[in-house]
Amino acid sequence: MNINRYMIKDTKEIRLSKLDANETGDFKTKKEAEAATAKLKKRLAELQDILFAQKKHSLLVILQGMDSSGKDGTVKHIFSGINPQGFIVTSFKKPSLEEEAHDFLWRVHQKTPPKGYISAFNRSHYEDVLVPRVHGSLSKEDAKHRFRYIRQFEEMLVEEGTTIIKLFLHISKEKQLEKIQERLEDPKKHWKFDASDLQEREYWDNYQEAYEEVFKESSTEQTPWFWIPANHRWYRNYLALDIVVKTLEKLDLRYPKLNTPTPDISELISPRH
Amino acid sequence: MNINRYMIKDTKEIRLSKLDANETGDFKTKKEAEAATAKLKKRLAELQDILFAQKKHSLLVILQGMDSSGKDGTVKHIFSGINPQGFIVTSFKKPSLEEEAHDFLWRVHQKTPPKGYISAFNRSHYEDVLVPRVHGSLSKEDAKHRFRYIRQFEEMLVEEGTTIIKLFLHISKEKQLEKIQERLEDPKKHWKFDASDLQEREYWDNYQEAYEEVFKESSTEQTPWFWIPANHRWYRNYLALDIVVKTLEKLDLRYPKLNTPTPDISELISPRH
């Protein structure tokens, strides 16, 4: 897929309502997409092996999206084939009292990936602008400050060796309702239901606007946002994975060479007389 | 004392060799200074009590200086009278492998003070510019990047409620030698001796230059550096404490009010009939 199509560039013009959450790119069927996804998963495992061996770069994948947009599912699907030793997921929930007593980047900075690692953020520091903006507790001006700190923070991470991928999982309002209903009806999904999701749903339009503000303020050349049509989970998984793989392929990933002269082990191998 | 005298403002002109490490301000004797210091210690304890109760602000005191300049002694003297529950010291040593695998601000960000607290950094993120600059492993340009990240990081902390005081303990080269000799001769001080201090002493001039670069790049209006004449430890303690107290006094520290209506406890107090 040409992933540039999904990169949010012209940030002055972005209107989420104009982006089709049902889109499936070049794929017509789920089967096609799943075959392509399987190949990409193998490729990701290869690339992660080198990343981990080389310990030069790290990758941070930030996942945002409305409730039920499939953040957990995306993490599960795209990263299930890699070496878990080199992978860390952090889900950022409502801040604890200790977290609230610090600046909003404090808890996220701690969870950034060390060299060699891939980290996924399931929600992130963007929630610290989105939620208070929607609920009116953060002024436009204070939000501007936070966006500046976010840009500077991400820029510093990039400069110090972390590649950042920011994915917005885009679902339609109808799809969200469908997912909420599934959670209520399927006993295996009851645990995912949270009454507050229904409350937040009432702020749907405000969230969409707040996201448009996020893209405008934080989709930069170095750390762009990608929007992922997420009504079809098979396309969502394929596309998210494709972006991850293509991004890793742009790095100069190489297995490190032996940094001592190659020892002569012939004596250990050949039988002694 | 007029602490502005010690604020490093005109950062283009700073020459450490022109600053007198033997200075004792308005004090002629140790006794005078110690009496003033005792008063300030009481005042600091009062202020910290309000800071802790109010949980609105936090204070970060960054201590830098050549080896043997008295960073440990300063922490010990100025903060020994306060409530230890609201105070955290972190000594930053050579980074661990885990720390090295992250950006250089990763470990310091974790140790920034939560609201209500005072934190002291015994050495800090400035070491990550000073040491590699002196030993030639960080180019001037890369140092400029790091300085930018430091300014942005500190600005963000300030904006989010942390007041930052940056103290440079200034001793003369002769005084350092004297202190090293003490460490070698006094059995109670043997533990403080580190052979690497003697090696680093050979880079004295380079360190002084690197510090001048630090002041030039990071003494800002919001987060200025102060230089502390530190050949006389009694003046050093007095002045560092005075800067801390005067800085806290500028904040709007107030005990919080009861946020419920005052309950009528007369019934609990007066005897029942």
Residues A244-262 have pLDDT tens digits of: 999 999 999 999 988 777 7
Mean pLDDT of B20-29: 95
Tokens of residue B245, six digits: 């107290």
β pairing state of A7-8 and A225-229: antiparallel
C-alpha A138/C-alpha A131 separation (Å) is 9
Q: What is the pLDDT of residues B202-214, one digit of tens each?
A: 999 999 999 999 9
Q: Which of A101, A149, A161 sits opposite B156 (nearest CB)?
A: A149
Report if residue B30 sits inside a domain: yes
Q: Which residue has the tokens 């400029």?
A: B144
Per the CB < 8 Å rule, is B104 touching A55?
Answer: no
A157, B115: Cβ pair inside 8 Å?
no
- Smallest CA-to-CA distance from A71 within A36, A32, A122 is with A122
Concatenating the DSSP letter of every residue in A128-141 gives HHHHHHHTT-S-HH
Lowest mean pLDDT among A90-94, B142-146, B254-258: B254-258
Cβ separation of A103 and B156 shorter than 8 Å? yes
* pLDDT at B100 (0 to 100): 95
Question: Looking at chain A from residue 33 to 62, which residues have their Cβ under 8 Å from any Cβ of chain B?
Answer: 55
Q: Count CB neighbours of B148 within 10 A.
A: 16
Across the interface, whether the CB atoms of A106 and B110 are under 8 A apart is answered yes
Q: Is residue A91 part of a domain?
A: yes
pLDDT for the residue numbered B168: 98
| pLDDT of residue A124 exceeding 80 | yes
**CA distance, residue A90 to nearest chain B CA (Å):** 16
* Angle (CA) A213 A250 A254, round 5°: 140
Looking at CA atoms only, how far is residue A109 from chain B in angstroms?
Answer: 6
What are the phi and psi torsion angles at B187 (to 5°)?
Answer: -55, -30
Q: To 5 degrees, how large is the angle CA A63–CA A68–CA A71?
A: 25
Tally of domains within chain B: 1
Q: Is residue B26 part of a domain?
A: yes
Residue A258 lies in a domain: no
Distance of CA B115 to CAs B55, B57, B162, Å?
5, 5, 8
Q: Percent of chain B scored above 70 by pLDDT?
A: 98
List pLDDT tens digits, range A32-82: 999 999 999 999 999 999 999 999 999 999 999 999 999 999 999 999 989
> Is residue B271 included in any domain, yes or no?
no
In a domain, A264, yes or no: no
Does A103 contact B112 at a Cβ distance shorter than 8 Å?
Answer: yes
**In A13-125, which ranges are continuous DSSP H helix?**
30-54, 71-79, 97-100, 106-110
Nearest-angstrom CA–CA distance, B157 and A89: 26
CATH of the domain at A202: 3.40.50.300
Question: What is the ipTM, given to two decimal places?
Answer: 0.84
The pLDDT assigned to B153 comes to 98
Q: For residue A238, what are the domain limits? A: 3-252
Q: Is residue B156 part of a domain?
A: yes
Q: Cα-Cα-Cα-Cα dihedral of B213, B171, B88, A93, to 10°? A: 10
Q: What per-residue string of b and e applies to B89-116 under the rule 16 or more CB within 10 Å gives b?
A: bbebeeeeeebebbbbbbbbbeebbbbb
Is residue B48 in some structural domain? Answer: yes
Phi first, then psi, for residue B218 (nearest 5°) are -135, 5
Q: How far apart are the first and last CA of chain B?
A: 61
Q: Pick the more confident residue, B272 or A111.
A: A111
Tokens of A176: 């969200």
Per-residue pLDDT of B197-243, as tens digits, reads 888 899 999 999 999 999 999 999 999 999 999 999 999 999 999 99
DSSP A181-243: HHHHH-GGGGGG--HHHHHHHTTHHHHHHHHHHHHHHH--SSS-EEEEE-SSHHHHHHHHHHH
B114 with A101: Cβ contact below 8 A: yes
Does A222 touch chain B if contact means CB atoms closer than 8 Å?
Answer: no
pLDDT reported for residue A146: 97
